[in-house]
Amino acid sequence: MEKFSLESFQHKVDDVLVRHSSILDILTKLQESSARINRAVAKSATFCGCIELNITKQEVPQDISYSQLKDYMSSHVTGNLCDVCREKIEQELSINFFYITALANAFNTNIEDLLNNYYENQLKTLGKYGLL
């Protein structure tokens, strides 16, 4: 079995994307896959019940620094994904990444270079201050 790499993934996406190769198809399938991720997470809470979403205002003390903020932020999720929900969400994430890769391919963008540049220039250099 060939070792997985982003490069081989990107080439395979290019090989198998036939029906939805129009940029409009890629964009709308990407948007659809994002909605399906949201739906899968919601169904984990509302249908399965393996997780609960307890959405409340983030309670953050006024006198903390930005670097301390993470200690006070909640994901609003309690519980753990069951195997079925985890598999569904991972499937939807994979499909989303497929269409992100298809979009990169449409504009001749190398995913590994893109991620490496983001890692070097945003994550490492700016850290938590570089996120939007």
111 binds Zn ion (CB under 5 A): no
| Given 13, 26, 85, 104, the residue binding Zn ion (CB under 5 A) | 85
Cα separation, 109 vs 130, in Å, equals: 22
Interacting residue with Zn ion among 48, 53, 93, 111 (CB under 5 A): 48
Are 69 and 62 in contact, with CB atoms under 8 Å apart? no
| From 6-14, 20-28, 36-44, 113-121, span contacting Zn ion (CB under 5 A) | 36-44
Q: With CB under 5 A as the rule, give the number of residues binding Zn ion.
A: 5
| Distance in Å, CB of 89 to Zn ion, minimum | 9
b/e string for 85-98 if b means 16 or more Cβ within 10 A? beebbeebeebbbb
Q: Say how far apart CA 75 and CA 82 lie, in whole Å.
A: 18
For position 27 contacting Zn ion by CB under 5 A, the verdict is no
Binding positions for Zn ion, rule: CB under 5 A:
44, 48, 50, 82, 85
